[in-house]
C-alpha cells in the first residue's frame, strides 16, 4: 500500500454485492466524489472491523486507496447509523430501499453529486427518526431527486406554455400540470388536494404534506412513481414493495 | 482464448460463484492433468447431487428424499422452529449443538434492491407449519445485516397473530476472542441492548 493514492470522503452506502469468499463490493454516494464502487475486504466475516459500518443506509467517513479498477476501503467510521434503525422496521426498510435504489440510478460514478448526497442524507435521517410517514417521506425524496436531476415537475403553472395555474390536468410526458389549451389525450385529472400535496412535497411544506388525506397521498404516490419511471425508462424495483396502506395524513 | 472443449470447460467453471477467469483456467488445467478416475468421481458426484438432492417439502432444507434428515428425526423437538435464510445456515446452527428443534429455510432474505419480496420466500409454508399448533417458539436466525434484520422485522410482524408462539431473535454482539476496542458502534450497541444479568 506504500505510495498508493489515498482519499477520504463522507459517504452513504447505497448497496452491496458479495465478492469472493468474504469481501463485498460496496456502492456508495460520496459527498465530494459522486458515486463510487469500492471493495470492502473481509467485511462479511463476523470479526470484520467495519462490516456493520458498510451496510446500506449507513453514513460513514470513508478512507480508500485507489486501485486499477475498484478502490479498496482501508478505514470506515460511522457518522450516522441510519441503516440500523431502518432495518428494524419493515415499512422504513422498503421506503429506504427505494430511496437508495433511486439514488443509485440517478447518479453517475465519479461525477460529484453533492446536492443529491445532502438530499439523501436528509431523507434517511428523517426516515430513521420517523419524522413523517415513510411513504410520504419517500415521495418527497423522489420528487426532489427528480428536480435535482433536472426533471422538476410543475404542479401549479402549465408545464408546456407556462400559463399561471392552478390547472387540473397532469400529463407526465409534458412535465406536470398542463392548461386546458395544452392538454393532451391521456392526461390524468387528479384531485386538487393531490396536486397541493405534491407541490408541498417538492417545496418541503410539511404542514400541508402531513395533513393530506391518505387516499390523496396514495394517488400522489402513483403519480410520482409513474413520473419517475417515465424519466428513468426502467422502473425502480424497490417501489413495488413499499406498503402504501399506512400512508396517512 | 483456447480452442473448443478446453475453452468450454473454462467458461463453465467461470460461471461458478467466486471463480474468476484466471481461477477457471487454473481449475480447467488441473482437471486436464488429473487422473481419469479422479475426474470421473467428480463428474459422478455432480451428476448424483443434481439427480438425488432436492428441497425438503417441510422445511426447505436440502434433502435426498421428500423430507430432510432433521424433519425425519423423531428425537428433534417439534415445538421449536429456527428460521434461517439458506440451507448452509442450518449447518452453521447444527455445529453449535445448542439447538435440538427443527428448521425452516426461507430461501433468502427480503431485498427490494434485488427484486426479492416476501412472495419470493417461504413465508406461507412457515405459516402453514405454525397453524398445526405444535410450535411454541420461533427463533429468527436470519443474517445480522440490513436484509436479514428487515426480514426478521417482517416475520415478527407476521407472527403477531400467533399469540401462543414465542418469537425470539438470535442475539447480536461481540465475537468471542475479539477486543472490545475494535468493535464497531452498531455491534457494541446491540451487545449492550442484549446484555445478560449475571447476579
Is residue B118 within a helix (H) or strand (E), and if so which, with residue range? none
DSSP β-bridge partners for residue A178: A169
CB B87 within 8 Å of CB B68: no
Task: State the burial class of residue B114 (Cβ atoms within 10 Å of its Cβ: 0-12, 13-18, 19+).
Answer: middle
At A20 the pLDDT is 79
- Cβ of residue A93 closer than 8 Å to a chain B Cβ: yes
State yes or no: pLDDT of B94 exceeds 70: yes
Class of CATH domain B76-169: alpha beta
Q: How far apart are CA B120 and CA B117, in angstroms?
A: 6
CATH number of B1-34: 1.10.8.420
Residue B137 reports pLDDT greater than 90: yes
pLDDT of residue B20: 85
Question: What confidence score (pLDDT) does residue A4 get?
Answer: 64
Q: Do A90 and B178 touch (CB under 8 A)?
A: no
Considering only CB atoms, A81 lies closest to which of B157, B177, B185, namely B185
Residues of B in contact with A86 (CB under 8 A): 146, 150
Cell of residue A173, nine digits: 410526458
With a cut of 50, list the residues of chain A below it in pLDDT.
1, 248-249
For CA atoms B121, B127, B130, B136, give the dihedral sign.
positive
A46 contacts chain B (CB < 8 A): yes
The pLDDT mean for chain A works out to 91
- In terms of Cα–Cα distance, which of A95, A249, A189, A36 is closest to B112? A95
Partner B contacted by A208 (CB < 8 A) = no
Closest alpha carbon within chain B to A87: B150
Minimum Cα–Cα distance from A56: chain B residue: B146
Overall average pLDDT of the B104-120 stretch:
94
Would you say residue B172 has pLDDT above 90? no
Domain ranges of chain B: 1-34, 76-169
Domains of chain A by start residue, with CATH: 6-80 (2.40.50.140), 89-241 (1.20.1440.120)
pLDDT tens per residue, range B114-134? 889 999 999 999 999 999 889
* pLDDT computed for residue B187 by the predictor: 87
Q: What is the pLDDT of residue A81?
A: 92
Question: Are B115 and A86 an interchain contact pair (Cβ–Cβ within 8 Å)?
Answer: no
How close A156 gets to chain B, by Cα (Å)? 33
B145 to chain A: which residues are within 8 Å by CB?
Answer: 55
Share of chain B above pLDDT 70, in %: 100
Separation of first and last alpha carbons in chain A: 54
> Quick one: pLDDT at residue A178?
93
Q: What is the mean pLDDT of residues B81-106?
A: 96
Cα dist from A31 to A13, A36, A60, A244, B43, whole Å: 11, 10, 11, 31, 51
pTM score: 0.87
Question: A128-131 contacts: CB < 8 A, separation 24 or more?
Answer: A128/A57, A128/A80, A128/A82, A128/A85, A128/A86, A128/A92, A129/A85, A130/A89, A130/A92
Amino acid at each position: 500500500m506504500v505510495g498508493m493514492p489515498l482519499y477520504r470522503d463522507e459517504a452513504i452506502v447505497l448497496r452491496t454485492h458479495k465478492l469472493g469468499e468474504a469481501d463485498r463490493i460496496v456502492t456508495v454516494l460520496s459527498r465530494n466524489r459522486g458515486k463510487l464502487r469500492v471493495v470492502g475486504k473481509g467485511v462479511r466475516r463476523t470479526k470484520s472491523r467495519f462490516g456493520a459500518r458498510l451496510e446500506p443506509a449507513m453514513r460513514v467517513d470513508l478512507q480508500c486507496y485507489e486501485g486499477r479498477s475498484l478502490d479498496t476501503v482501508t478505514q470506515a467510521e460511522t457518522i450516522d447509523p441510519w441503516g440500523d434503525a431502518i432495518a428494524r422496521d419493515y415499512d422504513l426498510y422498503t421506503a429506504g430501499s427505494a430511496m437508495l435504489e433511486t439514488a443509485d440510478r440517478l447518479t453517475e460514478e465519479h461525477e460529484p453529486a453533492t446536492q443529491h448526497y445532502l438530499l439523501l442524507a436528509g431523507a434517511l435521517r428523517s426516515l430513521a427518526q420517523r419524522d413523517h410517514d415513510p411513504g410520504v417521506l419517500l415521495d418527497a425524496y423522489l420528487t426532489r431527486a427528480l428536480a435535482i436531476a433536472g426533471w422538476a415537475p410543475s404542479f401549479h403553472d402549465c408545464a408546456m406554455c407556462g400559463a399561471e395555474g392552478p390547472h387540473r390536468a397532469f400529463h407526465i410526458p409534458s412535465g406536470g400540470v398542463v392548461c386546458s389549451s395544452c392538454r393532451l389525450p391521456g392526461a390524468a385529472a387528479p384531485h386538487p388536494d393531490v396536486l397541493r400535496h405534491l407541490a408541498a412535497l417538492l417545496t418541503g411544506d410539511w404542514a400541508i404534506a402531513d395533513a393530506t388525506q391518505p387516499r390523496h397521498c396514495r394517488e400522489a404516490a402513483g403519480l410520482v412513481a409513474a413520473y419517475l419511471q417515465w424519466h428513468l425508462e426502467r422502473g425502480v424495483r424497490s417501489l413495488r414493495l413499499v406498503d402504501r396502506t399506512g400512508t396517512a395524513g | 482464448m483456447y480452442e473448443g472443449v478446453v475453452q468450454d470447460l473454462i467458461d463453465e467453471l467461470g460461471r461458478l460463484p467466486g471463480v474468476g477467469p484466471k481461477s477457471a483456467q487454473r481449475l480447467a488445467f488441473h482437471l486436464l492433468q488429473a487422473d481419469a478416475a479422479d475426474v470421473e468421481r467428480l463428474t459422478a458426484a455432480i451428476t448424483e447431487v443434481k439427480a438425488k438432492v432436492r428441497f425438503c417439502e417441510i422445511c426447505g432444507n436440502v434433502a435426498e428424499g421428500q423430507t430432510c434428515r432433521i424433519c425425519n428425526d423423531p428425537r428433534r423437538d417439534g415445538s421449536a422452529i429456527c428460521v434461517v435464510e439458506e440451507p448452509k445456515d442450518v449447518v452453521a446452527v447444527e455445529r453449535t449443538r445448542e439447538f435440538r428443534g427443527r428448521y425452516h429455510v426461507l430461501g433468502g432474505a427480503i431485498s427490494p434492491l434485488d427484486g426479492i419480496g416476501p412472495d419470493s420466500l417461504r413465508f406461507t409454508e412457515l405459516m402453514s407449519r405454525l397453524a398445526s399448533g405444535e410450535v411454541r417458539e420461533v427463533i429468527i436466525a436470519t443474517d445480522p445485516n440490513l436484509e436479514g434484520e428487515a426480514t426478521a422485522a417482517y416475520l415478527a410482524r407476521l407472527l403477531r397473530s400467533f399469540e401462543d408462539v414465542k418469537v425470539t431473535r438470535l442475539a447480536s454482539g461481540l465475537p468471542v476472542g475479539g477486543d472490545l476496542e475494535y468493535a464497531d458502534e452498531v455491534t457494541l450497541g446491540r451487545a449492550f441492548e442484549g446484555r445478560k444479568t449475571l447476579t
